[in-house]
Amino acid sequence: MKFGNWNITEQQIEWTGNGLQTFAADRSTLLETMPSEATGEKLYKWIVQATEEEWMSHDDLYDLNFAFVYAASQSGGDFSYEVLDRTVEYQYDVLEEEEDDEEDDD
């Protein structure tokens, strides 16, 4: 299955876009969480890590979110829409901050 530049295999969700950049989320650890620095609440680790990659476009991150949900639903693991919502909110906050910084630089 493919979402944008993301290919879902049995082992991972992998970036397949052009360029030298690489990123892959191991499906065996897909649902691992990490605490938010701001609130301490759980966030999905792989989405946070991808969001922090400066080279990744907004569209690529949105496509990753869809690929993540698809792969997570197949995993049979303890997927939480509540954690996903918090993680996507974190992602939007980061993207908004980047846009504001770019506008300030102009």
Q: pLDDT for 35-45, tens place per residue?
A: 999 899 999 99
C-alpha to C-alpha distance for 84 and 11, rounded to whole angstroms: 21
Residue type for 38, please?
A
Single pTM value for the model: 0.89
Task: Provide the β-strand partners of residue 43.
Answer: 34
Q: Which residue is listed with tokens 């993301």?
A: 6
Confidence grade of residue 97 (pLDDT, cut at 50, 70, 90): confident
Confidence grade of residue 12 (pLDDT, cut at 50, 70, 90): very high
The domain containing residue 55 runs over which residues?
A: 2-105
Q: Which tokens belong to 47?
A: 């989405």
Whole-number percent of the chain with pLDDT over 90: 82
What are the start-end ranges of the E strands in 1-106? 2-3, 6-8, 12-15, 24-26, 33-35, 42-44
DSSP SS3 for 9:
coil
- The angle at the Cα of 48, spanning 28 to 98, to the nearest 5 degrees, equals 155
pLDDT at 106 over 80: no
Total count of domains within the chain? 1
